[in-house]
A = this chain, B = another copy of it.
């Protein structure tokens, strides 16, 4: 984890609602892996914070690393950015996603959130011939997937969260990553777990992971705002996450 300065090198609109920012960053960030994130805030020419609103940094999961000093993030097109804008970045934050050794079929679920935080894993998975299914649930259905790699199978879930061939998709998947929005995190994870348990007799450990994208005040395990409870005791999203085995997480609350 380092506190480094960066700037926006290029801005590309990738869909109706999203744009990608290419950030020229310190090379310490170029080895980031899928699952890791940075905390970003805009700073001014004199390297100072000009106003304290928003007070905390934004959590950005890169979607791509272009080369040793360019990382790419995807942000809403509605937010206006300028090339040259200086940023202060704190990162890398968190642990990379852990994939099974022989991963053939992976299921990604985005529920009430754009799937952005899951995109970084795609190039490596596809290069290794894994087959990827992405299920969009709730408001995630509004996400325009036109700019994602063609090899990915995109599925839009119904209002009751089910989708066609659901039992098959779930049975077939070696690993599942579930991403939820900030509004009803634990409840949404519980929804998905209910769905999965109804369709699968056993839900083994290291099969289904919940990915958290809470706003992280400190990102170094100091403030305890991001604390979660699991069968193995307290866990911190910023240090131990962002992905946790959903079979061991306490989802009541």
Residues of A within 8 A of B (CB): 50-53
Q: Which residues on the B side are within 8 Å of A51 (C-beta)?
A: 51, 53
Please tell me how many copies of the chain the complex holds: 2
Q: Which residue of B lies closest to A53 (CB)?
A: B51
- Least CB distance, A84 to chain B, in whole angstroms: 10
Chain A interface helix/strand/loop/mixed: loop
Bound Cα distance from A52 to B52, whole angstroms: 9
Bound Cα distance from A53 to B53, whole angstroms: 8
Q: Which residues on the B side are within 8 Å of A50 (C-beta)?
A: 53
Q: List 5 A-B contacts (CB under 8 A).
A: A50-B53, A51-B51, A51-B53, A52-B53, A53-B53
* Nearest 3 A/B pairs, CB to CB: A51-B53, A51-B51, A53-B53
Bound Cα distance from A53 to B44, whole angstroms: 15
- Least CB distance, A138 to chain B, in whole angstroms: 25
Bound Cα distance from A50 to B50, whole angstroms: 14
- Least CB distance, A57 to chain B, in whole angstroms: 15
Bound Cα distance from A50 to B53, whole angstroms: 8
Bound Cα distance from A53 to B52, whole angstroms: 8
Q: Which residue of B lies closest to A78 (CB)?
A: B45
